[in-house]
Amino acid sequence: MSRETTFSLTVGACLIAGLSSPLLFIVFALHPVWLPEMLRPTQEIVFYGASLIVATLTLLLSALPAALAERMGASLDTALKIWLFGAIFLAGVGLLGRGF
């Protein structure tokens, strides 16, 4: 599997986690903190923003084990696979938390 494919699958898993994570409701409820005042807080805008925030958080959290593995001498391909499996794990936890 090429590096581009691995990274694309990682981003896709993070987007799934952004739509299904239990943290989505917490970020949704905190929209007065992160939503700019120039936007009307409609349900669609708040859900889209909260989903992007959770997906970005998933991308960053799943990168931590990959960065540590690369620091300890793993190759870039191995680190990307660790990143992918971390993102899939977090997306799976989100899906299982929702009851799917």
Q: CA nearest 17: which of 48, 57, 66?
A: 57
Across the range 24-50, mean pLDDT stands at 91
Segment 45-57, tens digit of pLDDT: 999 999 999 999 9
**pTM for this entry:** 0.88
- Sorted by sequence, the CB contacts under 8 Å of residue 11 that are 6+ apart come out as 59
Across the range 11-33, mean pLDDT stands at 92
Domain interval for residue 60: 3-98
pLDDT tier for residue 40 given thresholds of 50, 70 and 90: confident
What pLDDT is stored for residue 57 in this prediction? 95
Tokens of 75: 């190759």
Segment 50-87, tens digit of pLDDT: 999 999 999 999 999 999 999 999 999 999 999 999 99
Total domain count, the chain = 1
What whole-number percentage of the chain has pLDDT above 90?
77
Q: How far apart are CA 54 and CA 51, in angstroms?
A: 5
Q: How far apart are CA 59 and CA 78, in angstroms?
A: 17
Residue 6: burial class (beta carbons within 10 Å; 0-12, 13-18, 19+): middle
